[in-house]
Amino acid sequence: MVFFEWDASLDVNVDEMNNQHKTLVGLMDVLYKKNTAGAPKQELMDSAGGLVNFVIKHFQDEEGYMASINFPGLEAHKQIHKNLMVDLNKFVGDFVNGSDEKISDEFITFLKFWLSTHIRGIDTKYGMK
């Protein structure tokens, strides 16, 4: 079963950002699948680290895109990114430093929530015509 999958409801009308979102969803899906399959903790940490690195790049590129079109909601969107980054780092940090061998359900729910509320509800605004 594919748990994280890009679909048309995530379309933000900007090709480069759609491509990055597809990569992001793919990285979440790999992490989810490895976690479900009982992969060793080191592998899960590597996947989670790769996700964090991609998110850093994605937020930079997305903020650069919004600046390039003079998007009026840029500052508010930046703040939302900052908060998401704090939460993501906390989930990853808790996993890395904790004794759990598996990613928590709360972490998975947070990633799902990200797609449904951030991409669908917030990112789509900069692509509106």
Contact positions vs Fe ion (CB under 5 A): 62, 123
Closer residue to Fe ion (CB): 92 or 119: 119
Residue 44 CB, nearest approach to Fe ion (Å): 23
Ramachandran sector of residue 70 (left: φ over 0; alpha: ψ -120 to 50; beta: rest): left
Residue 95 in contact with residue 107, Cβ under 8 Å? yes
Residue 43 CB, nearest approach to Fe ion (Å): 26
Distance CA 34, CA 110 (A): 17
Residue 98 CB, nearest approach to Fe ion (Å): 28
Residue 32 in contact with residue 122, Cβ under 8 Å? no
Task: Look up residue 29 and give its two tokens.
Answer: 């899906």
Residue nearest to Fe ion (CB): 123
Task: Look up residue 45 and give its two tokens.
Answer: 């940490």
Closer residue to Fe ion (CB): 34 or 62: 62
Token look-up 């080191």 returns: 42
Closer residue to Fe ion (CB): 92 or 123: 123
Closer residue to Fe ion (CB): 3 or 54: 54
Residue 68 in contact with residue 57, Cβ under 8 Å? no
Residue 108 CB, nearest approach to Fe ion (Å): 19
